[in-house]
Amino acid sequence: MSGTYDVIVVGGGIVGSACAWECARRGLKVLMVEAGIVGGGATAAGMGHLVVMDDSEAQFALTAYSCQLWRELAAELPGSVEHEVCGTLWVAADEWEMGEVERKARYYEERGVAVEVIGGKRLEQLEPNLRAGMAGALRVPGDAVIYPPAATHWMSERAGEAGATVWRGVEVRQILEEGAVELAGGAVVEAFVVVNAAGATAGRLTPGLPVRGRKGHLAITDRYPGFARHQLIELGYLKSAHGEEGDSVAFNIQPRKTGQMLVGSSRQYGAEGGEVEPGILGRMLRRAVAYMPGLRLLNVVRVWTGERAATPDKLPLIGPVPGRSSIWLATGHEGLGITTSLGTARLLGERLVGGDPEIPYKPYDPGRFAWVPVAGQTGAGVGAW
Amino acid sequence: MSRQRRDEAYDVVVVGGGPAGVAAATAAAESGKRVGLIDESPWLGGQIWRGEAERPHSEKARRWLKRLEAAGVTVRVGVSVVGGDGAGWLVAEDRRGAWRIGYEALILATGARDRFLPFPGWTAPHVMGVGGLQTLVKSGWPVAGKRVAIVGSGPLLWALAEGVTAAGGVVVVLAEQASWESVRRFGAGLIRYPAKLVQAIGLRARLAGVPYWCGWWPAVTRSEGDWAVVTVTDGTSRRELKCDLVAFGFGLVPNLELARLLGCGTRDEPGWEGVEVGLDQETGLSGVYAAGEATGVKGAEAALVEGRVAGYAAAGRRAEAEALYGLRDRWRRFGAMLAQAFALRAELKTLADDDTIVCRCEDVTYGRLRTWRTAREAKLMTRCGMGPCQGRVCGAACRFLWSWEPDRVRPPATVARLETLMELGTGGNGG
């Protein structure tokens, strides 16, 4: 197995698949190499929420841009992707959080994203299973939900149609300095550019990378159509997602097209292995029940975990490794990889061919961190920052 | 809103109230231990002794259930185990709420379930599992005058034929996929198991009028007015039979979800699946034992002996346990004989067509599944095994059809209320 490609994308998650498709679409000769199943890693473990976020200007820019790209794609998505524009409700439990709703509403409106401030009474009508007495919510009607493994599979097929080669079940042992990859069997495949899109394991291939794993748990119920109608997230979510080093949980419910409820979420650094951890699972479920008491009696069919690729500033790494023009990154998306996969691919594609991206690329450029890529052999795993 | 959680603790907890569980609980209780026996169904007896506690048919079952009662075992039925920490606590639930059940030693006697293999028509209303129909018949569901076709493999077909006949039904065919030679060799081997031989001869006499076709298997079933029509084949010719009901089953597969969830090692070779145990039935986890069909399907006699060994071992009665090793070997050999005689033929992999449902929970067809290479990939892309049964039915079928490795087990061990899962992490003292 050897030959020369323009681009080798390492990792066939939703980010890798979107990048492979984007590059192939631009006429580049692309190889995507996935060690396991296309869309089978963090992509399959995530919720599949297409959401505009406002933690920072750069995060807003990338998520809003990406949501726009998803809207443009919506008509083409096959039924298996389960695309549904259910909207997001950011739930305010008290008056203080309601103040946050107002601030958030202004922020989104000033930047052209349609939102609606919902009072407590109206919220009870929209989502009768929420605990009574909530202060209100911010509704973002354009946010949507998809089933990420099917979306990823579809993107990888579109990449194939555009001329990309896709290898599944092939492990990359090493990304070589000169723009080539060494496979687990020892074979070397060459390309002008290698894109490391290996998610939370990206640090094994690019040692020194400022990315580490942030584990999450999710539970899914049996079918209860209409139990929740929007993606529901507590406003305190931001504290959980962006706060302290410790383990955190937040109320985050997603209604699936199947009528099932996806219940989250949790965040843990340094939690080794994919095991379900009863302690944090219990905390996560109790948090959910505090917002939606009726959840108690719903049947759960399955619980699982996944590993998000987190960076210190909560923004992804998109672009060349400092000082290594042949090694590029498309990783570090933490919990937003499903949403920002399309925006990431556009940015990467445009930069690769020397074009002018539609949004500023600097905030996501790997050069923003003062880090030195470790030369030589395979790294020691997902590193510390 | 908040409902009461119940906490109990025992020296020995046994999960599963079939022959292995009943024998294990009895042996441990007779050795002086405080024993709790949990079963998810409303009655003790498991699949094989189902309904015996209410209306005894088998002398052996009656004796064991009486002995269990005399030994002072606490019985909790209608309680399903959801998970545990593998080191002293189980979390379970019943209709009313969650339970936390503590133990010093745990015995998994989780039994086995029917193996279903997809063929055109198997999901139609007039077609049901062998175990399902047996349960209905035992609970008094009227089959008198009904014409029943029984197809598939293994001794459970005979047991159902006997039940249907005794209840006044007519077995129009009993089609066994194993060949005549294979079944005859098994019959000849029974000479070393006099009790089984007597049982088999008695059964044969009671089933004298039943057409028993070996080397025949189902090809398709369809409805014709009020009738069901099942087509059976021997690979060259086909025959159609009119009946009211078709019952089918292709042997048993062990219930391994809880064992795997707790972290016990399992053997996964197709046909020989089971929890790995040592000489005294202890699994790789200290203080956790397994007995009966859960360690590999081999019949009720082996289950009883394994249960007793596990019960004595868990109670620290090493000598009593060891005294049973010889008997256990004998019944394990019988189990191996069974497995060999009723091994599934390769033709059964070709029964389904592209429109045949494989995963009933999610309506996934054979045609959508056959293009994938692993269970996980198929699951992610087609939802096969993602429904409420979590692959308990289609998992064994996919394993047989494509040799797919089972996907990893995740909690809960069985579908459970969200409030029960909240209890998983509350720690040993229920804090």
Note the pLDDT tens digit of each residue in A162-219: 999 999 999 999 999 888 999 999 999 999 999 999 999 999 999 889 999 999 999 9
Q: Which residue has the higher pLDDT, A135 or B389?
A: A135
- Looking at residue A381, its pLDDT comes to 38
- Looking at residue A373, its pLDDT comes to 63
Q: Please answer yes or no on whether B417 and A288 come within 8 Å at the CB atom.
A: no
**Burial readout B400-423 (b: 16 or more C-beta within 10 A, e: otherwise):** bbeebebbebbbbbbbbbbbbbbb
Q: Please answer yes or no on whether A301 and B1 come within 8 Å at the CB atom.
A: no
- CB atoms < 10 A from the CB of B241, how many? 19
Average pLDDT value for chain A: 92
Does residue B405 sit at the A interface (CB-CB below 8 Å)?
Answer: no
Per-residue pLDDT tens over the stretch A328-361? 999 999 999 999 999 999 999 999 999 999 999 9
Q: Please answer yes or no on whether A282 and B421 come within 8 Å at the CB atom.
A: yes
Q: Is the pLDDT of residue A2 over 50?
A: no
Q: What distances in angstroms separate CA B31 from CA A346, B35, B60, B278, B311, one per listed residue?
A: 71, 10, 21, 21, 9
**Percent with pLDDT over 90 in chain A:** 86
State how far the Cα of A275 lies from the Cα of A312, in Å rounded to an integer.
Answer: 25
Q: Please answer yes or no on whether B380 and A40 come within 8 Å at the CB atom.
A: yes
- Which residues of chain B neighbour A280 with C-beta distances below 8 Å? 425
- Looking at residue B48, its pLDDT comes to 82
Structure tokens at B332: 């394990």
SS3 content of chain A, % helix, strand, coil (to 5): 35, 30, 35
- How does residue A378 score in pLDDT terms, banded at 50, 70 and 90? very low
- Looking at residue A372, its pLDDT comes to 64
Q: Please answer yes or no on whether B423 and A279 come within 8 Å at the CB atom.
A: no
State how far the Cα of A302 lies from the Cα of A258, in Å rounded to an integer.
Answer: 15
Q: Is the pLDDT of residue A241 over 90?
A: no
pTM: 0.91
Per-residue pLDDT tens over the stretch A110-130? 999 999 999 999 999 999 999
What CATH number belongs to A85-142+212-310?
Answer: 3.30.9.10
- Residues of A in CB contact (< 8 Å) with B are 37, 39-40, 44, 80, 149-150, 153, 169, 219, 221-222, 258, 263, 276-283, 285-286, 288-289, 293, 295-304
- Looking at residue B406, its pLDDT comes to 80
Dihedral, CA atoms, B131, B132, B136, B139, nearest 10 degrees? 60
- Which residues of chain A neighbour B383 with C-beta distances below 8 Å? 258
ipTM of this complex prediction, to 2 decimal places: 0.91
- Tell me the mean pLDDT in the region A370-374: 67
Does residue B418 sit at the A interface (CB-CB below 8 Å)?
Answer: yes
Superfamily designation of domain A5-46+148-211+314-368: FAD/NAD(P)-binding domain (3.50.50.60)
Domain boundaries, chain A: 5-46+148-211+314-368, 85-142+212-310
Mean pLDDT per 10-residue section of chain B, whose length is 431 residues = 80 97 98 98 85 75 95 97 89 94 98 95 93 88 95 94 94 97 92 86 86 96 92 97 96 95 87 92 97 95 97 97 97 93 96 95 94 91 89 91 86 94 68 34
Structure tokens at B148: 């029943």
Which amino acid type is present at position B100? R
- Looking at residue B4, its pLDDT comes to 74
Task: Note every long-range contact of B76-80, with CB atoms under 8 Å and residues 24 or more positions apart, other chains counting.
Answer: B76/B8, B76/B36, B76/B37, B76/B38, B76/B39, B77/B17, B77/B38, B77/B39, B77/B40, B77/B41, B77/B42, B77/B43, B77/B44, B78/B39, B78/B40, B78/B41, B78/B42, B79/B38, B79/B39, B79/B40, B80/B40, B80/B413, B80/B414, B80/B416
Strand-pair category, A136-140 with A116-119: antiparallel
- Tell me the mean pLDDT in the region A295-313: 95
State how far the Cα of A95 lies from the Cα of A83, in Å rounded to an integer.
Answer: 34
Q: Is the pLDDT of residue A375 over 70?
A: no
- Looking at residue A383, its pLDDT comes to 40
Q: What distances in angstroms separate CA B392 from CA B40, B66, B388, one per listed residue?
A: 16, 32, 9
The dihedral built from the CA positions of residue A15, A17, A20 and A21, taken in this order, carries a sign that is: negative
Per-residue pLDDT tens over the stretch A16-52? 999 999 999 999 999 999 999 999 999 999 999 999 9
Select from A276, A280, A298, A305 the residue whose CB has the most chain B CBs within 10 Å, as the one to mutate to test that interface: A276
